[in-house]
Structure 1
Amino acid sequence: MFPPSPVELVRRRIVGKVRATFNDVAAGQQPVAISDDALFERDSPIRMVHSGVVSMMVGGIRSLLLQMLHPHALQGVLDHSDFRRDMHGRLRRTARFIAVTTFAHRDEAMAAIERVNRIHARVSGTLPDGTRYAASDPRTLAWVHVAEATSFLDAHLAYVRPSMPLAEQDEYFRQFAVIARSLGADPVPETRAAAESLIADLRADLSSSDAASEVARLVLTQRPAGTPLAVQRALATAAVDLLPPYARTMLGLARPSASALPARLATRTMSETLRWAFRQR
């Protein structure tokens, strides 16, 4: 048997580094196994969108920035997590939840959803103004969901498949709605138009704050050990570039101008390289 070619060795090294970033290797955590008995069929829109490593990272950053504009979601993170000390750990756990519910066996997916529901049931408290909040609140969960869904899809459109038909985008929302409803979100959009309408409605729930701006700075500046600074900056710039103008204003973020084009090019190159490494179409 012939030894691997230099190109194949490079490909394996890239795959290994990515898997180490998204899995707790020290704890023996393995990549999520792809199942033919998952909640969603192979090659369906949700599995295509959620398979893009770089686009999901950009979308994940964008969604966190949006979610932190909801005071209830923000306070839950501040009160009930070690986000400031272990931001990468939190992001890694979120990424794994998305992977399990999208690609793993349906029993494993539902078990992951139940674990999150149990955690949400214990997360509650009081905002600085005395208002009560709870992570299980359907309307708060609706914002968390629509922020994720639109962010992942917009990043996919920007860096993987700009020509994705609207019918497939709508199907993506219908599929992701299965997970959102299982987590207790309500209302849950099932089309692109419904998602945009819901965002317009939920914007009344959002607010600017020093805490939200602080979390945004952490999200945009911290990076996993071993990640090149240029990569972290490109992904962060790409995420801010995709934010709606109102969100950038509320978070005190300037729209990338001259820096946006190099970031877009670098992000697109990373996306294409990782799709090659993972042998994705």
Structure 2
Amino acid sequence: MESVTPDLRHRLGKLVFERVAGADGPKHRERIHLSEGERWFADDRPIRLVHADSSMFIGGLRALLLQSLHPLAMAGVAGHSDYRGDPWGRLQRTSYFLAVTTFGLAEDAERAVAKVKGIHRRVNGTAPDGRPYAASDPHLLKWVHVAEVDSFLDTYQRYGAAPLDQAGRDAYVFDTAFVARKLGVIDPPTTEAELREQLAAYRSELRSTPEARGAARFLLVRPPLPAIARAPYAVLASASVASLPAWTRRPLRLPYLPVTERTVVRAAGKGIVRTLRWITAPVPERAA
């Protein structure tokens, strides 16, 4: 990477940031990180360490794939989310929510939560299997939460810059529970052991559906990307699949190649995350 000039590194980092954060990204970043005021989490909290790491690129994909296995949660996404027509907009809204609730002013985090809860109140309907669903249902909210937290923690431990010890992992889950309660989750997990238990408790509700398989194909095979981004994205996608539990592969029609995943995919995933971390880090000022 030493052969890459600071100017090219800056341009690459700016391109990635614009994709993830959108046109308002610079304005949001300045307010989130530079404004004076109370925040939900202190600088030394694990949630800040995990959510600032480039492993989140893999964790986000893993979370979407895992969440899609709940038919009612997926019905809400399929029926009310324009994830196919505007995937970048959805990514940018999600990244802003994570950033503002993790790093931003408490008042801005409260407003972001209120906005999401307002959207949830309008998302309801009937799933293809005839069951009613509502995005504000605490049971579905908890599924989305535990699948997301499990994904972010798992991929951080695999690809993060400084994997957490047991106390750190428990503290991360504890931090995320604060945000979950704000969103309406009842009794979210507060330790890694509770996270594993609550995730396992949903296994009997998870199913292979056309909507889930279609979402997986869209995310992994047919994402709307420019040609230059397809190879790096393929590595991120492969790493996200490799990090999923083995029991998710059959319902999502995904391959399971344990030896390849432990060697080739793991190494490639580490490489792409390290590269993303490097190009998105602030470029040091040159000495005069």
TM-score (norm 1): 0.90
Displacement of 1:96 in angstroms is 1.6
| Structure 1 residues not aligned, in runs of 5+ | none
| Structure 2 residues not aligned, in runs of 5+ | 284-288
Partner of 2:276 in structure 1?
274
Displacement of 1:164 in angstroms is 1.5
Q: Secondary structure at the match of 2:99?
A: helix
1:126-145 equivalences in 2 (<5 Å): 126-145=126-145
Equivalent pair of 1:142/1:188 in contact (CA under 8 Å)? yes
Percent identity between matched residues is 39
Partner of 1:39 in structure 2?
40
Equivalent pair of 1:88/1:224 in contact (CA under 8 Å)? no
1:193-232 equivalences in 2 (<5 Å): 193-221=193-221, 222-225=223-226, 228-232=229-233
- Flag the 1:235–1:197 CA change in 2: closer, same or farther, 3 A: same
Partner of 2:17 in structure 1?
19
1:83-162 equivalences in 2 (<5 Å): 83-161=83-161
Equivalent pair of 1:39/1:101 in contact (CA under 8 Å)? yes
The one-character-per-residue Cα deviations of 1:168-227 (angstroms, maximum 9, x if unpaired) are 000000100011111111231000000000011111221111211011111112144465
Equivalent pair of 1:62/1:151 in contact (CA under 8 Å)? yes
Aligned CA RMSD, in angstroms, stands at: 2.2
Partner of 2:59 in structure 1?
59
Letter of the 2:189 partner, please give it.
P
Equivalent pair of 1:69/1:212 in contact (CA under 8 Å)? yes
Partner of 2:267 in structure 1?
265
Instruction: Please give the alpha-carbon distance, in whole angstroms, between the structure 2 residues aligned to 1:28 and 1:174.
Output: 28
Instruction: Please give the alpha-carbon distance, in whole angstroms, between the structure 2 residues aligned to 1:151 and 1:78.
Output: 21
Instruction: Please give the alpha-carbon distance, in whole angstroms, between the structure 1 residues aligned to 2:265 and 2:42.
Output: 33
Displacement of 1:95 in angstroms is 1.7
Q: Secondary structure at the match of 2:202?
A: helix
Select the residue among 7, 10, 35 that pairs with 1:9: 7
Equivalent pair of 1:19/1:31 in contact (CA under 8 Å)? no
Equivalent pair of 2:53/2:161 in contact (CA under 8 Å)? no
Q: How many residues align?
A: 274
TM-score (norm 2): 0.88
Letter of the 1:274 partner, please give it.
L
Letter of the 2:168 partner, please give it.
E
Q: Secondary structure at the match of 2:133?
A: strand
Structure 2 residue 78 is the aligned partner of structure 1 residue 81: no
Instruction: Please give the alpha-carbon distance, in whole angstroms, between the structure 1 residues aligned to 2:160 and 2:150.
Output: 15
- Which deviates more, 138-147 or 157-166? 157-166
Instruction: Please give the alpha-carbon distance, in whole angstroms, between the structure 1 residues aligned to 2:228 and 2:187.
Output: 38
Equivalent pair of 1:235/1:263 in contact (CA under 8 Å)? no
- Flag the 1:200–1:47 CA change in 2: closer, same or farther, 3 A: same
- Which deviates more, 166-175 or 246-255? 246-255
- Which deviates more, 157-166 or 231-240? 157-166
- Flag the 1:102–1:226 CA change in 2: closer, same or farther, 3 A: farther
The one-character-per-residue Cα deviations of 1:134-169 (angstroms, maximum 9, x if unpaired) are 000001010100111010111111011464211000
- Flag the 1:231–1:28 CA change in 2: closer, same or farther, 3 A: closer
